[in-house]
Amino acid sequence: MKQLTKTVTLEHKQLTILKPIDLVVNAGETLAIVGSSGSGKTTLLSLLAGLDLPSSGEVYLKKQALHKLDEEQRSQIRAEHIGFIFQQFLLINSLTALENVMLPAELANKANAKELALTLLNDVGLADRCEHFPNQLSGGEQQRVAIARAFISQPDVLFADEPTGNLDSNTGQHITNLLFNLNKQYGTTLVLVTHDQKLAQRCHKQIEMADGHLIAEQNNLTPLTSVDKAVKL
Amino acid sequence: MSWMSNLVVKQSLRLFKHEVRQGELTIMFLAIVLAVATVFSLSGFSNQIKSALVEQSSHFIAADRVLRSSRPISQAVLTKSQQLNLHYVKQVDMSSMVFSTDSNMLLASLTATSDLYPLKGELLVSRSKKAMLAGEFQSVHAPKSGSVWVDAPLLAKLKVNVNDQIEIGNSLFTIAGVIKQRPDASFSLFSLGPEVIFNIRDIDKTELIQAGSRVGYKYLFSGNKQNIEKFSAWLTPQLNDTQRWYSIKSQQNALAKTLNKAEKYLSLASLLGIILAAVAISVAARRYSQRHQSAVAVFKAMGASKRYITQLYLIHWSLLCVVSIVVGLCCGYLLQYLGLAAMANYLPIESSLDWSYPLFTAIITGLICAIAFALVPLRELIETSPLQVIRDPILKANKFFSWRYLPAALALFVLVWLFSRDWLLTFVLLIGGAIIIAILLMLALFLVRFSRTIGSGAGQAWQLALANLKRRATENSIQLVSFTLAINLLLLLVVVRSDLLADWKKQLPDNSANKFLINITQPQLAKVQQFVDENNLTASALFPVVPGRLTAINNERVVSKETQKEQIASKGSNKGTDKIAENKNSKQRIGIGRELNLTWLDALPNNNKILSGKWWSANDDYAQVSVEKSIAKRLSIVLGDELTFTLGSDVFTVKVTSIRDVHWQSMQPNFYMIFNNKVLDNYPATYIASLYIPPSDESIFTQFLAQYPTITVLDVDAMIKQLNNVIKQVSLAIAFILVIVVLAGCLVLVAQVQATMGERQRDLAILRTLGAKGRLLRNSVWYEFVALGVIAGTLASFIMEIMVYFIQTRLFNMTASFHFNFWLIAIVAGGLFVGLIGILSCWRLLTKTALHRYAV
């Protein structure tokens, strides 16, 4: 992304949430965006994922200029290349766990959506909860369904917004391990927004934001892959 | 169908199936079901009740419709009626002397009629004097050629008996029976002598109709309702000013007025029911949109296109509507069936119901509601930004006035018009409604904000409740308006019903007079009084009556309307507008055109009210007259005018000193002109009185009358019974409709409470997490809703009072009154009911587990 900015108008006042930012995320890389509340992390994520358009600057995903595309074209890009994990899980309450996981695969026109979903639910340890509705699952279970949903379409990039933010530390740890394991398995590029330093440390790279600026960028030389292997779900 | 379409259909069905199972769509489903069922059952039911009431009451004009004319009508009219399979009867009315073979003579009202008379109701006749005294009679049609049916007083006055002959014109007739009851008997106390009915085939033989003779023609029609309506639509534009086309409803009597009021009430109730159901749909559609926004954001984030979302929710919504409309039609059918079955014991319900109208209107209503009320919420749903998956939308200030309400307002407009077919009512209702809602919103906002100030010193739960009220001020104001409207409309129906029943009860108090005695002579007065006293009967005073004609106002001659009409008709113009223009051009006032019953009294009679001027005192030494308001208006008579009357060969002039309002529906003799006793004292008068004869005294009454055969009896028993029947039946029908409307009202309340559940859920979870106890939360929810209910009840009562004023005075022509007793009911019931719905709706949220789950 080049010289990306985002300005919003609130009650007739111009508010610049994102000041000019340049950033490159390479394929297969894991990136953590950290920073205090209101620093612009989530805004940055929404622009990277094509959920929102920048006020100025350029965003490219797999050489496609997202900033030049309309909502419909960006939808198509999301369907083909992007997966999401949210702090609030955001499962569709009226669909079962299985149907929630199948959803992106169906939207991406994958013929074997059900088989893929069952495999992934098995991978996240919820094979026996397929027919349960979100309100019948715990927070941790819901997030595991969300992770399965995120990987089903085998996205090139996975965006995760505070994936452990709504979970207790123990469950959060399990979810983190699951996320990184699957990420490694599928070779997905991972961009996550977090307050959690431990989580950020596990990424190849982390950037810190404050007041809409990118204030620090660091490469974690030793991503904690050894821990991954140690954790059993 | 492309793969996308298959998928979208599959996902829609999947969403629909699960949401139905989870109860997510219940409120929306119920709202549409209720709207459709309400329209289906009410339009079918009230139309059936209305036509059954009219059918049953049509006996009183002996037909479904009557055409009265001063000349014979063209054969084309009769041919048209035959083409439409209508039955008809031709009658000629006139006054003429009838003679006995002993040369006794008497002025009688003659009716020459064709064979089928009466088309509706029964003509009851006693075939001998003995049978008459024994109260034996049979139902007959027109007499055979050469014979007549006569009124009982004619026998005494002409000194003849059944089977004797009388002479009418140039022809002799045999008296074949004595009339006991004629279905379309005139209820006018003013009569031109006893009635004689003979066959129209004999009219030429009598040679009564000569050039210039004053005769009236009546054509009675009956038949299938649709054909009658078709005939009416065909005939009405052709009528001229000398013709009158009427049904029982267009008559000016108590029965017609009761029928019209009942009809108006049924229509009003149906209309309010439909508005309530529409409001429920509108509220539920908004909730539907809000509940699905998060899912749409997720769908979009996952890459679903707008087209896909549109298809997904169009299919989802259509499925919901189709299922709801079908279920609504079934429920409506069932409700109507039950309602009509309950009424079948009391009313002649047609066995072959015409389902097309209720079916059509119900489906149209369902579609209008489903499309128009959902248009904006669905559009907003489809436009949901995918950004919502990570960030709550920036809340736009909830504007009170917005174009987004336009489709709903238009839909309501179409619905109201569809049911009332009355542009004025539709405009008044909607513009009035919009103004009321705007005022209510502002008032509600003020009250809700004010609640925090007054709540500062209250207990903890109260404080929390009031703080909640204020914090969600805008949403609560909208909620409050919905509550107020629902309570208001329900209250309106209950209050108008109670007023209407009270009005009817007042019109027909127990033991209201069922007989009028006319032509009581001076020597018979004491005997009548004695009969009343001995049998302990309830009777009115005996009013002296002298027939007289109003001939001039302020020395300016008044023209007879008949004369003027005839003058106009003889000019050969057939266009009504020309005649009206001519009438306007004529400077002469049109008089009453017939003799009036003039009376004189010292005191103002009951059911009379002085509107202007003053009632005389016994000491006044000049001639005065008090004029009834409608005739004063018609003849432009004002206080101080000099009215000239002709009595036989005498002419006298009196001054108008008061204008009166008369309650015509009261069962007592009422008069247009009442004099003080300075004028009429010297004229020979007959007397009239009204009295109540209980069924047990009927035979004593018949025996009494047999001794005084010259007294004419006007029997209004049948009409009173019919009035009572109508009132009973309408009360039953109203109770049925009220149940449906109350259901619609409750649904609005539930839908509205449900609409704020999402935010409430979050708030309660936060409070619970912060350590608030269950009891505090329950109480705060209870108090919050009770407060909303109480405020809504108060506002609803206030608006109800304004609306009832207009309904009473404009729609029902009743006297306006206040209903403070209903205020208390509305406030208490509003508080309790809204509180109960609130607490029940939140119950699941108030349990610990649910809250913790949300708060995790």
Give which of B246, B239, B250 is closest to B577, Cα–Cα.
Answer: B239
Q: Which of A8, A92, A138 sits opposite B295 (nearest CB)?
A: A92
Chain B CA closest to residue A162 = B390
Residues from chain A that touch B15, judged by Cβ atoms under 8 A, are 92, 94-95
Inter-chain touch B304–A75, beta carbons under 8 Å: yes
Inter-chain touch A84–B3, beta carbons under 8 Å: no
Sequence-ordered list of residues with C-beta below 8 angstroms from that of B765, at least 6 positions apart, any chain: B845, B851, B852, B854, B855
Considering the domain architecture, whether residues B634 and B570 belong to the same structural domain is answered as: yes
How confident is the model at residue B88, as a pLDDT?
93
Query: Is B236 part of a structural domain of the chain?
Result: no
Q: Which of A79, A86, A103 sits opposite B390 (nearest CB)?
A: A86
Residues from chain B that touch A72, judged by Cβ atoms under 8 A, are 305-307
DSSP B712-724: EEEE-HHHHHHHH
Q: Does domain A26-54+70-230 have CATH number 3.40.50.150?
A: no
Query: Which of B291, B390, B852 should be substituted to probe chain A, the one whose Cβ sees the most A Cβ atoms within 10 Å?
Result: B390
How confident is the model at residue B561, as a pLDDT?
55
Considering the domain architecture, whether residues B448 and B323 belong to the same structural domain is answered as: yes
Tokens of A25: 């995320």
Amino acid, single-letter form, for residue A194: T
CA atoms within 13 A on the CB side of B128: 3
Q: Is 80 exceeded by the pLDDT of residue B236? A: yes
Residues from chain B that touch A53, judged by Cβ atoms under 8 A, are none
Question: Residues of B numbered 390-419 whose beta carbons fall under 8 angstroms of chain A's beta carbons: which are they?
Answer: 390-391, 394
How confident is the model at residue B706, as a pLDDT?
73
Chain A contact for B856 (CB, 8 A cutoff): yes
Separation in Å, CA of B16 to nearest CA in chain A: 8
How confident is the model at residue B350, as a pLDDT?
65
Inter-chain touch A82–B11, beta carbons under 8 Å: no
How confident is the model at residue B220, as a pLDDT?
93
Chain B CA closest to residue A151 = B302
Q: Across the strands, what pairs with B538?
A: B692
How confident is the model at residue B756, as a pLDDT?
72
Chain A contact for B22 (CB, 8 A cutoff): yes
CA atoms within 13 A on the CB side of A78: 31
**Range with the poorest average pLDDT among B208-217, B304-313, B562-571, B614-623:** B562-571
Residues from chain A that touch B303, judged by Cβ atoms under 8 A, are 75-80, 82, 104, 107-108
How confident is the model at residue B397, as a pLDDT?
47
pLDDT, tens digit, 9 for 90 and up, residues B253-271: 667 777 777 777 777 777 8
Query: Which of A6, A52, A107, A158 should be substituted to probe chain B, the one whose Cβ sees the most B Cβ atoms within 10 Å?
Result: A107
Using 50, 70 and 90 to split pLDDT, how confident is the model at B804? confident
Q: Is 60 exceeded by the pLDDT of residue B369? A: yes
Using 50, 70 and 90 to split pLDDT, how confident is the model at B587? low
Q: Which residue has the higher pLDDT, A91 or B354?
A: A91
Tokens of B498: 């109670």
How confident is the model at residue B188, as a pLDDT?
60
State which of B695, B715, B735 marks the end of a domain.
B715
Chain B CA closest to residue A44 = B390
Instruction: Examine the predicted complex and report whether its ipTM is higher than 0.95.
Output: no
Inter-chain touch B303–A92, beta carbons under 8 Å: no
CA distances from B819 to A2, B77, B495, B542, B797 (A): 73, 51, 8, 38, 9
Considering the domain architecture, whether residues B549 and B477 belong to the same structural domain is answered as: no
Inter-chain touch A78–B14, beta carbons under 8 Å: no
Across A39-52, average pLDDT? 87
Using 50, 70 and 90 to split pLDDT, how confident is the model at B856? very low
Q: Is 60 exceeded by the pLDDT of residue B657? A: yes
Separation in Å, CA of B393 to nearest CA in chain A: 12
Residues from chain A that touch B7, judged by Cβ atoms under 8 A, are 106-107, 109
**Range with the poorest average pLDDT among A152-161, B40-49, B595-604, B793-802:** B40-49
Residue A44 class from Cβ within 10 Å (0-12 exposed, 13-18 middle, 19+ buried)?
buried
Q: Which of A46, A75, A96 sits opposite B303 (nearest CB)?
A: A75
Considering the domain architecture, whether residues B451 and B551 belong to the same structural domain is answered as: no
How confident is the model at residue B41, as a pLDDT?
82
Separation in Å, CA of B383 to nearest CA in chain A: 11
Across A45-50, average pLDDT? 87
What is the count of structural domains for chain B? 3
Q: Across the strands, what pairs with A64?
A: A61
Interior CA angle at B36 toward B353 and B351, to 5°? 10
Residues from chain A that touch B856, judged by Cβ atoms under 8 A, are 138-139, 166
Inter-chain touch A103–B302, beta carbons under 8 Å: yes
Using 50, 70 and 90 to split pLDDT, how confident is the model at A79? confident
Using 50, 70 and 90 to split pLDDT, how confident is the model at B163? very high
Give which of B491, B851, B813 is closest to B665, Cα–Cα.
Answer: B813
Inter-chain touch B387–A82, beta carbons under 8 Å: no
Inter-chain touch B295–A52, beta carbons under 8 Å: no
Inter-chain touch B305–A72, beta carbons under 8 Å: yes
Using 50, 70 and 90 to split pLDDT, how confident is the model at B424? confident
Chain A CA closest to residue B297 = A90
Residues from chain B that touch A96, judged by Cβ atoms under 8 A, are 18
Chain B CA closest to residue A75 = B303
Q: In this structure, are residues B316 and A98 in contact, taking their beta carbons and an 8 Å threshold?
A: no
Tokens of B194: 């006893």
Using 50, 70 and 90 to split pLDDT, how confident is the model at B413? confident
Tokens of B487: 């309570």
Chain A CA closest to residue B386 = A51
CA distances from B89 to A72, B120, B139, B237, B810 (A): 75, 11, 17, 22, 37
How confident is the model at residue B150, as a pLDDT?
92
Considering the domain architecture, whether residues B342 and B472 belong to the same structural domain is answered as: yes
Q: Is 90 exceeded by the pLDDT of residue B630? A: no
Q: In this structure, are residues A132 and A164 in contact, taking their beta carbons and an 8 Å threshold?
A: no
H or E, element range at B628: strand B624-628
Query: Is B247 part of a structural domain of the chain?
Result: no
How confident is the model at residue B454, as a pLDDT?
53
Chain B CA closest to residue A48 = B387
Secondary structure class of B621 (helix, strand, coil) = coil
Chain A contact for B757 (CB, 8 A cutoff): no
**Range with the poorest average pLDDT among A19-23, A32-36, B308-312:** A19-23
Query: Is B250 part of a structural domain of the chain?
Result: no
Domain residue ranges in chain A: 26-54+70-230
Q: Which residue has the higher pLDDT, A232 or B414?
A: B414
Query: Is B76 part of a structural domain of the chain?
Result: no
Residues from chain B that touch A106, judged by Cβ atoms under 8 A, are 7, 11
Tally C-beta pairs within 8 A across A and B.
91
Query: Is B77 part of a structural domain of the chain?
Result: no
Tokens of B683: 């004229």
Q: In this structure, are residues B116 and B219 in contact, taking their beta carbons and an 8 Å threshold?
A: no
Inter-chain touch B18–A42, beta carbons under 8 Å: no
Give the highest mean pLDDT range of A30-39, A196-205, B84-93, B373-382.
B84-93
Tokens of B571: 């000019």
**Range with the poorest average pLDDT among B121-130, B189-198, B288-297:** B189-198
As a whole number of angstroms, the distance between CA B689 and CA B56 comes to 29
Task: Work out the number of other CB atoms within 10 angstroms of the CB of residue B102.
Answer: 10
How confident is the model at residue B589, as a pLDDT?
67
CA distances from B315 to B155, B363, B477 (A): 81, 18, 33
Query: Which of B16, B21, B302, B769 should be substituted to probe chain A, the one whose Cβ sees the most A Cβ atoms within 10 Å?
Result: B302
Angle subtended by helix axes A97-107 and B254-301, to nearest 10: 70
The 3-class secondary structure across chain A, one letter per residue, is: CEEEEEEEEECCEEEEEEEEECCCCCCCCEEEEEECCCCCHHHHHHHHCCCCCCCEEECEECCEEHHHCCHHHHHHHHHHHEEEECCCCCCCCCCCHHHHHHHHHHHCCCCCHHHHHHHHHHHCCCHHHCCCCHHHCCHHHHHHHHHHHHHHCCCCEEEEECCCCCCCHHHHHHHHHHHHHHHHHHCCEEEEECCCHHHHHCCCEEEEEECCEEEEEEECCCCCHHHHHHCCC
Inter-chain touch B14–A99, beta carbons under 8 Å: yes
Question: Residues of B numbered 366-395 whose beta carbons fall under 8 angstroms of chain A's beta carbons: which are they?
Answer: 385-387, 389-391, 394
Sequence-ordered list of residues with C-beta below 8 angstroms from that of B110, at least 6 positions apart, any chain: B93, B94, B95, B96, B98, B168, B195, B196, B197, B198, B208
Chain A contact for B7 (CB, 8 A cutoff): yes
How confident is the model at residue A226, as a pLDDT?
35
pLDDT, tens digit, 9 for 90 and up, residues B499-531: 888 877 777 777 778 888 888 888 888 888 888
Q: Which residue has the higher pLDDT, B387 or B467?
A: B387
How confident is the model at residue B582, as a pLDDT?
41
Across A139-161, average pLDDT? 88
Inter-chain touch A77–B7, beta carbons under 8 Å: no
Chain A CA closest to residue B291 = A93
Q: Is 80 exceeded by the pLDDT of residue B128? A: yes
Q: Is 90 exceeded by the pLDDT of residue B79? A: yes
Q: Which of B11, B19, B390 sits opposite A42 (nearest CB)?
A: B390
CA distances from B547 to A171, B54, B664 (A): 105, 35, 20
Separation in Å, CA of B829 to nearest CA in chain A: 36
pLDDT, tens digit, 9 for 90 and up, residues A215-228: 877 776 444 443 33
Separation in Å, CA of A100 to nearest CA in chain B: 10
Separation in Å, CA of A161 to nearest CA in chain B: 7
Separation in Å, CA of A137 to nearest CA in chain B: 10
| Domain around B391 | 3-55+257-507+723-855
**Range with the poorest average pLDDT among B239-253, B267-281, B565-579:** B565-579
Q: Which of B294, B303, B390 sits opposite A79 (nearest CB)?
A: B303
Inter-chain touch A93–B295, beta carbons under 8 Å: yes
How confident is the model at residue A117, as a pLDDT?
92
Using 50, 70 and 90 to split pLDDT, how confident is the model at B451? low
Query: For chain B, what is the mean pLDDT?
Result: 80
How confident is the model at residue B592, as a pLDDT?
66
Inter-chain touch B22–A93, beta carbons under 8 Å: yes
CA distances from B136 to B144, B163, B229, B472, B682 (A): 21, 17, 38, 77, 42
State which of B222, B249, B266 marks the end of a domain.
B222
Q: Residue B308: what are its φ and ψ, rounded to 5°?
A: -65, -45
